[in-house]
Amino acid sequence: MMEFKLRPWNMNDLESLVENANDYDIAKNLTDVFPHPYTEEDGKKFIAYATSEDVIRIFAIEVDGKAVGAIGLHPQQDIMKKNIELGYWLGKKYWGKGIISKAVKQMVDYAFESFDITRVYARPFGTNVASQKILEKNGFKLEANIEKSIYKNGEFFDELVYGFRVRDREY
């Protein structure tokens, strides 16, 4: 397992952010809010957004002093206010090293400690098997498979909904 740490973003991360985020293989599994190509301007906007809240919700994944990915929590509102969505991405050269799996565990703990929620959920594409395995390894349960609900790059994809509830948490 490669060593990493989760920490707040800062503008010094811009070069590494753009270098790692500017990859079609990452963007193809994320919402269209995550652009491809990923420019310096996109990075500046993201860092400003990630550092705009009083409570940190979006962390940099740091390896060897560089921000090489992101993991974040997106609180829901209204009737969904007891839920928080988890999202993440990691630079391709760091894939398969156990980083995201361990980061997901840390973020689930952080979510339940920091927010008034009962459920953390994630919505990977049906084609993103690696992400599905990471969620399952961390105790998330497949709650729904919504066929052909995602439209990305001219194609339809299944949306999977994985949930982790407070009752599933080990104490």
Mean pLDDT calculated for residue range 15-41: 97
pLDDT at 22 over 90: yes
pLDDT at 16 over 90: yes
pLDDT range class, residue 1, cuts 50, 70, 90? confident
Residue 96 is assigned to a structural domain of this protein: yes
Question: How many domains would you assign to the chain?
Answer: 1
Residue 73 is assigned to a structural domain of this protein: yes
pLDDT at 167 over 90: no
Residue 23 is assigned to a structural domain of this protein: yes
Residue 168 is assigned to a structural domain of this protein: no
pLDDT of residue 149: 98
pLDDT range class, residue 169, cuts 50, 70, 90? low
pLDDT of residue 10: 97
Residue 39 is assigned to a structural domain of this protein: yes
Question: pLDDT tens digit string along 83-132?
Answer: 999 999 999 999 999 999 999 999 999 999 999 999 999 999 999 999 99
CATH number at residue 69: 3.40.630.30
- What percent of the chain has a predicted confidence (pLDDT) above 70? 98
Q: What DSSP line would sit under the chain, residue for residue?
A: ----EEE---GGGHHHHHHHH--HHHHTTS-TTS-SS--HHHHHHHHHHHTSSSS--EEEEEETTEEEEEEEEEE--GGGTTEEEEEEEE-GGGTTSSHHHHHHHHHHHHHHHHSS-SEEEE--BTT-HHHHHHHHHTT-EEEEEEEEEEEETTEEEEEEEEEEEGGG---
Mean pLDDT of the chain: 96
pTM: 0.95
pLDDT of residue 170: 60
pLDDT at 34 over 60: yes
Residue 157 is assigned to a structural domain of this protein: no
Domain of 21?
Answer: 5-120
Residue 142 is assigned to a structural domain of this protein: no
pLDDT at 171 over 70: no
pLDDT of residue 164: 98
pLDDT at 63 over 90: yes
Residue 84 is assigned to a structural domain of this protein: yes
